[in-house]
Amino acid sequence: MFKIILRRVLVAIPTLILVSMIVFMLQKILPGDPVLTLAGEERDPAVLDYLRDKYRLNDPLPVQYGAWVSQVLHGDLGKSLRTDVPVTRLIAQKLPVTLQLAAMAMFFALVIGVPMGIVAAVRKGTATEMGANVAALSGMSIPNFWLGILLIMLVSVKWRLLPASGYVSPFDDFWMSMKTMLMPALVLSTAIAAYLMRHTRSAMLEALSADYVRTARAKGVSPRRVVLRHALRNALMPIVTLVTLLFGELLAGAVLTEQVFTIPGFGKLIVDAVFTRDYAVVQGVVLCVAVGFIVMNLLADILYILVNPRLRHA
Amino acid sequence: MKLWHFKLGLCAALLAAASGAAVAQEMRIGLQEDPDVLDPHRARTYVGRIVFTSLCDKLVDVNEKLQFVPQLAQSWSWNADNTVLTFKLRTDALFHDGTKFDSAAAKANLERAMTLKESMRKGELASIAKIDTPDPQTLVLTLKQPDATLLASLSDRAGMMLSPKIFSDDIGAVGRKPICSGPYKFVERVQNDRIVLDKFDQYYDAKDFAFKRITFLPIPDTTVRLSNLRAGGLDILERMNPSDAQQVKADSSLQFAPISGLGYQQFYFNVANGERAKTNPFTDERVRRAFELTLDRNVINEVVGGGIFDPANQPFPPASPYHSDKFPIPARDIAKAKALLKEAGKEQVKAELAFGNNTTTSAIAEMVQAMAAEAGFQLSLRPTEYAALLNEAQSGNFELLMRGWSGRVDPDGNIYQFVTCKGALNDGRYCNPAVDKLLAQARTVPDEAKRKAIYDQAQEILQADAQAVYIYYQPWPFVLAKKVKGFKPYPDGMIRLRGVSFAQ
């Protein structure tokens, strides 16, 4: 087990280097001068030149990249060009928000998607299954931002049940935090729930047609125990890895949902940073997300091994 | 009635009263964008100025008629040849850290604005040669030459007063925790989320400010911002989308408070910037004039503007005393446009219209494309992302460009950088030395009537040259919750909370 983890970590390092290079290059390819964008309506040529020097934008690209890497290795991700706030502080502020959103969305997705998948598998060929399939398809097809705006107009404006946007930390006011996050998490969970439902269904179908299930039925085990104790256990393996991977993706920030509900998370941070050509923020956040994704992948692999005893001694 | 019913009712009433009391204390303002750095000497955005209006006092302020009124300066006077400006400062003003505001502090602020390498205010204060502080209440500015724009600059970020105690080698420190001099002091800021200010009880006019706390919430999507207001999550919002005007006017739980602003939306032409200028059909003044004649500004106002896009054809809006009645807005005239194009020998004009992409500008561009087509213009549209557009404009990669300008109190701010030969915002590189001379002269004439005469002269040339085609004056459409009373919109678009309160 330890050897597996070590190997994964070693492989992660060149991956991170590659990611950092790619994001660096992509930003430079983007049309638009960050200093000009920064200056907005105030175009004083002397100040612009000074800023370009300060942020080393006139240096050759490899030099700029090298300077950034050495900064990162010292634990300094730089400062936002726009507001001078250290990028590490921005990440520390936004990460818990996105974590909370991702966790709640994942929770809803699991609670909705997995049972629906089980039901769809068990009731294969019936109207219930068709209904579940339709729901899944809708969840995957309906755009998050449309659903979000619709929900805001209905739930917040018309019925005044929940706040329309914003974020409150659960440590400040737990219930208010739940209220502000409920709609965004639900909206975000629809696509994932649909995805989970489809995968649970096919995993369950496969498990239900296995030999050991036939044996269990022959033994006289009750249908409920067959489904939940025997089939589901085995079907869960791919689901577990899927969930961990999806969580990693959620961490990258549900950009559209955050924009619609004005949640100050990673997604919003990155989008705003790209539009204002705030290099330091984009680079720092993408690196952080890449690390998060790699960790999640590693976790997925470990979980898979843990859940499947056959792989433990591979 | 059962006892528990009564208790429940009492609890509810108390809760309502308590939340009502809490609500009465906090004003929540919805902004279109997240402000940039909260350092008035380095700030560059319009929304930043909205926050500064409550956070930082300046030497002078403006009223609804754009006249200068005292703020940190009680009075001021010019000498005979307008080269020395003397301010008499308030004696009862304090910074948020408790230190007294005096002429030494004012001098420190002005010097920082003038010398900090990253200061965006240098151009505004360039005419100041010397700053003297004969006593704590007197500030004397000696200028290199008369400068009619100086007071206007001092009524904005260049004249904002921070506590000199926070000036240090770490320039970023000021922006992260600004200690200023306004009716509200800085509490916290979470980027992209909120900016929170609390009432500064020792402000000299504290009694005129009703709210204990102001929270600025940047909500970029206009639909979501309006929904927030309607759902009770905001009290004031700025820049409502014009397409929502009908809905808002019909909603009795909202107050619509638009005002015509100082800025404008215009088309300008690449006449001399780079390769594309050489093949640009718009280098011919007749083509530019013909293009203007295809526009029906009233239709644009009606269809896209929801009635709040006041038609424009000069850089100074009606709110400005420098607006000239000599230039009436031309009505749409396709026949005349076609005649002009024929005269220019270009009956079919192919060109590309570049603009910053959002729903409003796209709608306007499409309308203009259709309107101009009737006279023979074949315009292809190039919606461009804002940051990329800045680059394209500066490097001359355009033929026809639509842009907006948020407007300045001083008329020079609406014209100089755009039409002078070396103007920093003159991306079309229009150049007429006669105009340069007039505009440079106008900067040095403080007398309003004389200055207007000079601007009129400059405008005659610019109008004859069809230098730019103005479309409308930028409105500042504020929407308020029903309970907000005493709010007055100002032409500079700033939210001034003096005298504003919630109806009980």
Ordered DSSP codes for B222-236: HHHHHHHHHTTS-SE
The stretch B384-403 carries a mean pLDDT of 92
Specify the pLDDT at position A311.
Answer: 67
The length of chain A in residues reads: 314
Chain B residues with CB under 8 Å of A46 CB are 122
- Say how far residue B156 (Cα) sits from the centre of its chain: 11
The length of chain B in residues reads: 504
Specify the pLDDT at position B100.
Answer: 95
**Which two structure tokens, joined as six digits, stand for A153?**
């107009």
How close is the nearest chain A Cα to the Cα of B395, in Å?
11
User: CB burial class (10 A; 0-12, 13-18, 19+) of residue B315?
Assistant: buried
Q: Which residue has the tokens 């940190």?
A: B72
What H or E segment, with its residue span, contains residue A18? helix A2-29
DSSP B311: B
- Please answer yes or no on whether B191 and A83 come within 8 Å at the CB atom: yes
Phi, psi of B346 (to 5 degrees): -130, 75
Chain B residues with CB under 8 Å of A156 CB are 227-228, 231, 233
Chain A residues with CB under 8 Å of B405 CB are 41
ipTM over 0.90: no
Q: Is the pLDDT of residue B216 over 70?
A: yes
Q: Is B219 on the interface with A (CB under 8 A)?
A: yes
- Please answer yes or no on whether B192 and A264 come within 8 Å at the CB atom: yes
Chain-wide mean pLDDT for chain B? 92
What is d(CA A204, CA A215) in angstroms, rounded to the nearest whole number? 16
What is d(CA B438, CA B456) in angstroms, rounded to the nearest whole number? 10
Chain B residues with CB under 8 Å of A180 CB are none
Nearest CA in chain B to A272: B192
Nearest CA in chain B to A34: B387
- Please answer yes or no on whether A32 and B390 come within 8 Å at the CB atom: yes
Q: Which amino acid is at B463?
A: Q
A143 or B364, which is more confident? B364
Lowest mean pLDDT among A263-272, B196-205, B270-279: A263-272
What is d(CA B400, CA B288) in angstroms, rounded to the nearest whole number? 10
Condensed to tens digits (0 to 9), the pLDDT of residues B230-248 reads: 999 999 999 999 999 999 9
Q: Which residue has the tokens 């029906």?
A: B296
What is d(CA B235, CA B254) in angstroms, rounded to the nearest whole number? 10
pTM: 0.88
Specify the pLDDT at position B21.
Answer: 38
- Please answer yes or no on whether A165 and B233 come within 8 Å at the CB atom: yes
Chain-wide mean pLDDT for chain A? 86
Q: Sign of the C-alpha dihedral, residues B412, B417, B423, B427?
A: negative
- Please answer yes or no on whether A156 and B405 come within 8 Å at the CB atom: no
Q: What percent of chain A has pLDDT above 90?
A: 14
Q: Taking each helix axis as running N to C, give the angle between helix A279-307 and helix A2-29, from 0 to 180 degrees, rounded to the nearest 10.
A: 150
**Which two structure tokens, joined as six digits, stand for A175?**
């219930």
The stretch B343-348 carries a mean pLDDT of 92
B357 or A232, which is more confident? B357
- Say how far residue B314 (Cα) sits from the centre of its chain: 17
Q: Are strands B60-62 and B68-70 parallel, antiparallel or unpaired?
A: antiparallel
Query: First-to-last CA distance in chain A?
Result: 9
What H or E segment, with its residue span, contains residue B140? strand B138-143
- Please answer yes or no on whether A164 and B44 come within 8 Å at the CB atom: no
The stretch A165-176 carries a mean pLDDT of 87
Phi, psi of A263 (to 5 degrees): -100, 125
Q: Which residue has the tokens 């000599």?
A: B326
Q: Is B221 on the interface with A (CB under 8 A)?
A: yes
Specify the pLDDT at position A2.
Answer: 80
Which of B164, B171, B169, B177 is closest to B55 using CA atoms?
Answer: B177
Specify the pLDDT at position A212.
Answer: 83
Q: Which residue has the tokens 């009432």?
A: B199
Cβ partners under 8 Å of residue B310, min gap 6: B260, B301, B317, B318, B472, B473, B475
Q: Which residue has the tokens 């103005």?
A: B470
Query: First-to-last CA distance in chain B?
Result: 30
- Please answer yes or no on whether A84 and B392 come within 8 Å at the CB atom: no
Condensed to tens digits (0 to 9), the pLDDT of residues A2-26 reads: 887 788 888 888 888 898 899 888 8
Do B89 and B181 touch, CB atoms closer than 8 A?
A: no
Instruction: Tell which phi-psi region holds residue B289, choosing left (phi > 0), alpha (psi between -120 and 50) or beta.
Output: alpha
**Which two structure tokens, joined as six digits, stand for A181?**
């996050």
Specify the pLDDT at position B290.
Answer: 95
**Which two structure tokens, joined as six digits, stand for B159?**
């004249």
The stretch A219-246 carries a mean pLDDT of 82
The stretch B449-475 carries a mean pLDDT of 95
What is d(CA B183, CA A209) in angstroms, rounded to the nearest whole number? 73
What is d(CA B76, CA B314) in angstroms, rounded to the nearest whole number? 32
Lowest mean pLDDT among A19-23, A231-235, B247-251, B488-492: A231-235
What H or E segment, with its residue span, contains residue B292? helix B285-293
Q: Which residue has the tokens 């989320």?
A: B193
Confidence band for B311, pLDDT divided at 50, 70 and 90: very high
Specify the pLDDT at position A286.
Answer: 86
The stretch B189-206 carries a mean pLDDT of 94
**What is the interface size between A and B, counted as CB pairs within 8 Å?**
134
Which of A153, A170, A148, A112 is closest to A254 using CA atoms?
Answer: A148
Which of A186, A77, A88, A198 is closest to A136 using CA atoms?
Answer: A198
Q: Is the pLDDT of residue B12 over 70?
A: no
Confidence band for A206, pLDDT divided at 50, 70 and 90: confident
Q: Is the pLDDT of residue B23 over 60?
A: no
Do B304 and B245 touch, CB atoms closer than 8 A?
A: no
Q: Could you say which of A36, A80, A259 has the minimum Cβ distance to residue B221?
A: A259
- Please answer yes or no on whether B388 and A261 come within 8 Å at the CB atom: no
Condensed to tens digits (0 to 9), the pLDDT of residues B117-167 reads: 989 999 899 999 999 999 999 999 999 999 999 999 999 999 999 999 999
E strands along B357-467, which residues? 377-384, 400-405
Which of A261, A166, A172 is closest to B28 using CA atoms?
Answer: A166
Condensed to tens digits (0 to 9), the pLDDT of residues B244-256 reads: 999 999 999 999 9
Per-range mean pLDDT, top range of A53-57, A232-236, A264-268, B134-138: B134-138
Cβ partners under 8 Å of residue B331, min gap 6: B296
Alpha helices in A123-252 (DSSP H): 127-141, 144-151, 174-208, 211-219, 223-225, 232-251
Chain A residues with CB under 8 Å of B119 CB are 47
Do B311 and B301 touch, CB atoms closer than 8 A?
A: yes
How close is the nearest chain B Cα to the Cα of A290, in Å?
22
